[in-house]
Every structure is written in C-alpha cells, then in structure tokens.
Amino acid sequence: MKAFRTLSLLAVGLLVASAMFGQSRQAPPVIYGTNVGYCGEATYNSGLDGCLMRIGPGQYGFSNGQLPVASLIPLTPNIYLNAPAAVSLGTASSGGLIPAGTYRLGATYVTWTGGETPMSSDSGSTQATTGSASTLTVTAPSAVSDAAGYRVYASAAGGAVNSEVLQPLTTAVCAGAFQVGGGITVCPFGANAVFTSLVSTGYTGPALSGAANTAGVVNLTAGPQTAVTTVTTAQAMGTWTLAAGAMNVQGKKMRIKGYAVFSNGATTPAITLSVKIGSSITPVSIVGAANANTNSSAPLPFDIVIQTTTTGSSGADEAHGCMQDATSAAWSSGTAMVTYCDNNTAASSTYDHTAANALAINIAATAALTTVTLRDLSIDFIQN
C-alpha cells in the first residue's frame, strides 16, 4: 500500500510538472464569439497563458493575463478600403534604363497591418516611353483613412491588361518609403514613385482583380423611420442611397434585415413587403396572407439577400427573402407568427450597377393598414 501511495504521488507530481513546463500535447482551443478567442498554454517560465481574444467586430486584443485592449491589435479588413483610382503617369527620356514601349501601371492601398486592396484599374493608366534610358513616374494616389501608403505594379512593354507585377520600393524610388506589418515596404502618400528600371517577374496577386473593391460600402444601419399611414398601395418605409458601383461586383451580396410594426383596425389585410432599387426595379417581393383585425403594433421582421448576377450598366440581381407575420389572431406578445417567402426563380430586370441608386423598403396591403413604422434596419455587403 505504501508503495502504491508513493507511485500515485509521483504520477500526480509528473502531471503538475508537465502542466507547469508546457509539456501538454492538447491542442489549444478555438472559441467563437465575443470576449473569447484562441488561447495558448504557458510554456517553460512564460508565466500567464496568452489569448488572442475577439472583443468586437474587427477588433482583437491580446490578453496575457489582463483585460484585452482592441488597439493592441487593430485589424482593418481590406473590404473597408476601395482600390485607388487609376493612377496618373509621367516619363522622362533620360535618367533611367527603361526601354521604349508602352507600359501599364497600377497602385494598391496597403493598411498598417499589411493588408492590401485590389489594384487600381489599368485601362487608363498606360505610359509610352522612348529611347532606352527612360524613367516612369507614378503620381501618389490620394490618401484615405486606414491606409498607410501605396504599392506599385507595372507590366512589361506592351503587357496585357492585369499583367502587372509588384515593383520593388525603396527610398530611391519614393522619398520616405517605410515598412508596415509583415515587412511590406510602401510609398507614403504625397511622395511620387519614380522608377529608373522595372522588374518583369514577381508577385501579381492584387493585379489579378483589376476591379475596385465595391465603392467602399460595408454596411448601412438605421433606427426608427417616420411612420407611413393609410397604407394600401406600395409606400416606402425608408429610403437610402447605394453608392455608384456598390453592387457592381459579380456574386456580391447585399443582406437586408429589418423590423417593422403595423396596426390595422377592422380590416384584414394581406401584406406585401418588397425592395425597390432605382426608379422601377423590384428584385424581391414577399406576399403574406390575410391578417386578423385589430392588430396594434404587430411585428413584421424580415430578412432578404440580393446577389449580383450581371454587372455593368445593364446589371441584374437575384434576390430571395422571407418575412414573419401574425395572421391567426390579433397579435400580442407570444402569439405565433407565420413565415412567408418569395418565389423567385430568375434574376431581376436590369438596371445600371455602375451608377448610384435609391434603395427603398416598401410596404403594401390589400386593405388599409392604419400605420406602419420601420423600427430597425441593417444592410450588410458581402463580397466573395
């Protein structure tokens, strides 16, 4: 018995030592949500465990035994940045080693953490050189919030669209060149990049996109809107503006979630909720059944996704969504609600995806609704 007790104590001691000196072979957990994250066990003499913790959308902090602070690790996703506009170019016939030809050039924005946007459109950014001793100058793009600087991509002479490769940047190319996260060198805003020579091979990643990153639209939100009254034909519960190009990306999605309340007197209306884009396009319409009468501030939550199927001035979308409505009895807290969805099987009629468009959330009814108020709305843009 004494020997058994000794062996047991030895085993416990080994387990404790294993935990103290980081010998555990268990994988650290990944936990999703707010105020949780990826935690690693302490290793030899390291002290407290360390955790990379999510403390809000796009905000992370490293705990290391203390309350995480978002500013310790500010994460700025590229989707928040639009690609630069087409760059302005210049050349000189002496001072460099660039042969005669026509070159395509583009720029990208780079964040402080090393994230990079797609490249600016190169369709209007070409520059012809002469002789064999030319230079090429890229005018620094305009500064934008959350970007640290810019990088430059260039094609070979006569290169095709989006054939640009990353060009090395130094203080000899642009005054004040510096490094951001990941050891990436960028040119500061306000400093033009002057190239005396070009490389023809290298990184081409962002140049493969060629398209601006969704007009910088990330989300739109709204609180209570002005009530609309005596509703039969379609009326807008709220109207917003989609920036030019906001949906001009193949496969891009706009998710619309909202919460409205309505009242009706002795009538028993069937409600239709729809989304209208521009002056005449209704990509989705959801029709409900007849409501019970004497509803007062009955809820009408809805969730809709609109996806771009065709881009350009004659672009189109396919949209689907559902709403919930109380129809079996006058609504009160806890009353069951019925879900109604669209029956779309094709894309919408076309409209100009390159232009700014009004977005309206409409409500209609087969008999008069006394009043309808959109209480909450969230519009999120998702780019695959």
Q: Which of 379, 381, 378 is nearest to 307 (CA)?
A: 381
In this prediction, what percent of the chain has a pLDDT beyond 90?
Answer: 49
The CA distance from 106 to 101, in Å, is 17
The CA distance from 235 to 229, in Å, is 9
Instruction: Beginning with the edge strand found earlier in the chain, give each strand of the sheet holding 50-56 in spatial order.
Output: 36-40, 50-56, 59-62, 73-74
Q: Name the more confident of 66 and 283.
A: 283
Q: In this predicted model, what pLDDT tens digit does every residue of 64-102 receive, in sequence order?
A: 545 444 444 343 344 456 778 889 999 999 999 999 999
The CA distance from 108 to 120, in Å, is 6
Is residue 164 very low, low, confident or very high in pLDDT (cuts 50, 70, 90)?
A: confident
CB 122 within 8 A of CB 162: yes
pTM: 0.50
The single residue listed with the structure tokens 């104590």 is 9
The single residue listed with the structure tokens 């416990």 is 12
280, HSE (Cβ side, Cα atoms, 13 Å): 4
pLDDT at position 38? 52
Q: Which of 124, 104, 84, 227 is nearest to 167 (CA)?
A: 104
Q: In this predicted model, what pLDDT tens digit does every residue of 24-73 receive, in sequence order?
A: 334 444 434 444 455 555 444 455 455 655 555 444 555 554 544 444 43
Give the count of beta carbons closer than 10 Å to the beta carbon of residue 132: 11
pLDDT at position 334? 83
Q: Name the more confident of 19 and 248.
A: 248
Average pLDDT over residues 125-141: 95
CB 69 within 8 A of CB 90: no
Q: Which of 14-28, 29-43, 206-220, 242-256 has the highest mean pLDDT?
A: 242-256
- Chain centroid to CA 189: how far? 24
pLDDT at position 29? 41
Q: In this predicted model, what pLDDT tens digit does every residue of 182-204 receive, in sequence order?
A: 789 999 999 999 999 999 888 87
**Range name among 25-29, 140-144, 152-156, 284-288 with the lowest pLDDT average:** 25-29
What does the DSSP 8-state code read for residue 115?
-
What does the DSSP 8-state code read for residue 19?
H
pLDDT at position 205? 60
Q: What is the mean pLDDT of the chain?
A: 80
> Side chain identity at 219, as an amino acid letter?
N
What does the DSSP 8-state code read for residue 4?
H
